Structure formats: structure tokens, C-alpha cells
């Protein structure tokens, strides 16, 4: 057979579904009936899926990753040098169905020239919605009062003029306007601000990354759009001292670990509310529990906890009545999770076929 004939035969085998010529994609969680067809409809691909709705077992992943060209993970799967070594030289792309990527060894994947896809932007609205919910729940003692009903103790509780009262978020001009603070002022923080405008918010302060460039023009535009009295960038000490509600919406990582610590919490107002919907590592749990217990601040609403999901009933924050703790559900809307799964699938497909990823993490920065 001529060389041309060999090549045609090879191409025919490649697109006919021959498993020897198919590129393998390992998927560590079934992405559902609306998304899996994006992968399974491609005859050039062999799709290997972990069949259970829980993190894949490490043994299974190490056994199945060999020879894979693409990998889709969620937070439960750590992408380590060991895993990359088991995958072998064919691996081109790791796609995570998350905006965070702490579970991926970026140095190791970059050294092997592997692309990383992630899912920012699509969860902005969902997390912003949740941030407002947490602020309201914490300020109005939702955790404490809901437990009163759920425990059956409501009939035993006698009404009092100031019972279960908390600081009001909204201001109609007759009450003192709230100062809203943001630790981190990216997409989600700005979307959260947009949702706060109907509450009568007029003064906003924030702390950004020390390495980020000045954003005076953007801040002036936002202040004009939302008719704010002021929108100022401040240092973290002033952020803590002045904020009535402090939203923690910054990236995780070593540089921001425990950025909200005892020193910061002691500076806050006794009527202040702390909301964390970003990463659990940003807030020192022990310090926050102490702040709530000793009433340095009014309350807290958190969707993320350091060490999650290993958070039981004996956790220091779970024990605090004025701390609303949710199990990391910031992106948990049907629309958002579908968008995240779809983007994760499109990222892996683009990486496997040598195309630009719709949402690629910059590993050179």
C-alpha cells in the first residue's frame, strides 16, 4: 500500500470510532443530559466517566487517566504531579468546573505545557445574589430565629419590643446610610453593589489587590451610574473600621489566607456584618468565632469555610448563633451550574482539538 493509502486508511480508522485511534477524555463527574452529548457525540473521542455522584476515587482516576488527552475535574479531584505522571505525555488540557483552581498544581501543569480551563463569569450573578441573601440573613438573625422554629421552641418564646432585632441594611433617608465595604472589588463585588443600590446605599469603600493598577476612572463611572455619594479605595484598616457590611469577595491563595484575622475583626463596628462568599481561607474561623462570641461584631454570613466540607456540628462557627453557615452553594442555581458544566465541556473539547479555550487560565502571569 502506498504512503497515501496508509494515511487514508489511518484517517478512516480515526473517524470510524476505532478505540485505538480515539482521543480519551476522562470526566470525573457526569455533567448531565444537557452537556454530556457535547462530548459523546464526537466519534473521535473515547469518553470515560466516573459513574457516581461523588468525588471520584483516586485509584479509579489513576487507573483511567493513562493516555488521556483531556481531563474534566471538579473541586474533589486534586491535579497533582502524580496524576500528571500517570496520565502520560498525551494530556493536553485540564478543565475544571469551577472558578477556583486551588486543587490544580499550576506549576506542574505549566511545566508540561498543559492548558487549564476554568469557569469564571458564568457564576457572577448567582454568587452576587447569595451575597445579598447572606447579608440579610446575618443582619436579621435568620440563623438564630430559624432554629427557634425548627426546634419547636417558638411557642415558648414571648414577644418583646426589641427581641431578635438586628441592624437594618436598607436606608430610606430617615436612617443613617450604611457604608458598604468590599474586600476585593472584581466582577462579583460589582454585581453585588448593583443589587445593593435599591437598599439606598450611598457610600462604598473597597480594598483591592496592592498590585492592581489605579481604577479612578472606573470608580467615577460606577459612582455616577449608581448615584453614590462616594466610592473610594481604602486600606484594610479603614475598610474594617468604616464598613457596616463587609463583603469578602477576593481570590483565595497564600497571599490572602486569613486576611480577615483577629486584628481586622477587632477594628470592626459592634453592629457590623461580615459576609464571605469567596474562599474559606480568607477568614480565620477561630478569630471570627471569637469575634461573634465576644460581640466585637454583630453577625456573619458565610458560604465558605476553611477546611470544608469537614465542617461538623462541633465546628466553632456552627456553634455561633449569629453565624449563618451555608455549604458552599454560591453557584447552586440550575442556570449557573448548567452554564458551568457547558463551559467545562467546551474548554476540554477546545484543548483536545488544539483550539483556543473559551475560558483559559493564564499560566504565564
Of 6, 103, 153, 328, which residue is the catalytic one?
328
Task: Give the three-class secondary structure for 248.
Answer: strand
Which segments of the chain does DSSP mark as H helices, in order?
Answer: 3-15, 36-40, 58-64, 81-87, 106-111, 124-139, 142-150, 187-196, 216-226, 236-242, 262-267, 285-293, 334-352
Residue 115, strand partner residues: 93
- Let me know if 328 is a catalytic residue: yes
Cβ proximity of 303 and 273 under 8 Å = no
Cα(260)–Cα(290) distance, integer angstroms: 13
The angle, 0 to 180 degrees and rounded to 10, between the axes of the packed helices 334-352 and 124-139 is 150
From the list 268, 328, 249, 298, the residue with the least C-alpha distance to 143 is 298
Inter-CA distances, 216 with 1, 172, 192, 203, 233, Å: 69, 28, 19, 16, 9
Active site residues: 328
Amino acid at each position: 500500500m502506498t504512503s497515501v493509502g496508509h494515511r487514508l486508511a489511518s484517517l478512516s480508522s480515526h473517524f470510524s470510532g476505532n478505540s485505538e485511534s480515539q482521543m480519551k477524555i476522562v470526566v470525573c463527574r457526569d455533567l448531565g443530559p444537557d452537556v454530556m452529548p457535547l462530548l459523546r457525540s464526537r466519534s473521535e473521542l473515547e469518553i470515560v466517566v466516573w459513574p457516581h455522584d461523588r468525588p471520584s476515587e483516586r485509584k479509579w482516576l489513576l487507573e483511567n487517566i493513562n493516555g488521556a488527552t483531556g481531563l474534566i475535574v471538579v473541586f474533589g479531584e486534586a491535579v497533582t504531579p502524580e496524576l500528571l505522571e500517570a496520565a502520560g505525555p498525551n494530556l493536553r488540557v485540564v478543565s475544571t468546573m469551577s472558578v477556583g483552581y486551588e486543587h490544580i498544581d499550576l506549576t506542574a501543569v505549566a511545566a508540561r505545557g498543559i492548558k487549564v480551563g476554568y469557569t469564571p463569569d458564568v457564576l457572577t450573578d448567582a454568587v452576587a445574589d447569595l451575597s445579598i441573601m447572606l447579608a440579610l440573613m446575618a443582619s436579621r438573625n435568620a440563623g438564630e430565629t430559624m432554629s427557634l422554629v425548627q426546634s419547636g421552641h417558638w411557642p415558648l418564646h414571648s414577644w418583646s419590643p426589641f427581641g431578635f432585632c438586628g441592624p437594618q441594611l436598607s436606608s430610606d433617608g430617615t436612617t443613617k446610610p450604611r457604608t458598604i465595604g468590599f474586600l476585593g472589588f472584581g466582577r462579583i463585588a460589582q454585581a453585588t453593589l448593583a443589587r445593593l443600590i435599591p437598599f439606598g446605599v450611598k457610600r462604598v469603600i473597597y480594598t483591592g489587590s496592592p498590585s492592581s493598577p489605579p481604577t479612578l476612572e472606573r470608580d467615577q463611572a460606577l459612582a455616577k451610574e449608581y448615584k453614590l455619594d462616594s466610592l473610594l479605595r481604602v486600606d484594610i484598616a479603614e475598610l474594617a473600621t468604616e464598613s457596616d457590611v463587609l463583603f469578602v469577595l477576593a481570590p483565595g491563595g497564600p497571599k490572602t489566607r486569613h486576611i480577615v484575622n483577629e486584628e481586622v475583626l477587632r477594628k470592626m463596628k459592634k453592629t457590623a456584618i461580615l459576609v464571605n462568599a469567596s474562599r474559606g481561607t480568607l477568614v480565620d474561623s477561630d478569630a471570627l468565632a471569637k469575634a461573634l462570641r465576644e460581640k466585637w461584631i454583630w453577625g456573619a454570613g458565610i458560604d465558605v469555610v476553611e477546611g470544608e466540607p469537614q465542617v461538623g456540628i462541633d465546628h466553632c462557627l456552627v456553634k455561633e448563633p449569629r453565624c449563618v453557615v451555608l455549604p458552599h452553594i454560591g453557584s447552586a442555581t440550575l442556570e449557573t451550574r448548567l452554564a458551568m458544566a457547558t463551559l467545562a465541556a467546551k474548554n476540554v473539547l477546545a484543548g483536545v482539538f488544539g483550539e483556543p479555550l473559551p475560558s483559559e487560565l493564564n499560566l504565564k502571569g
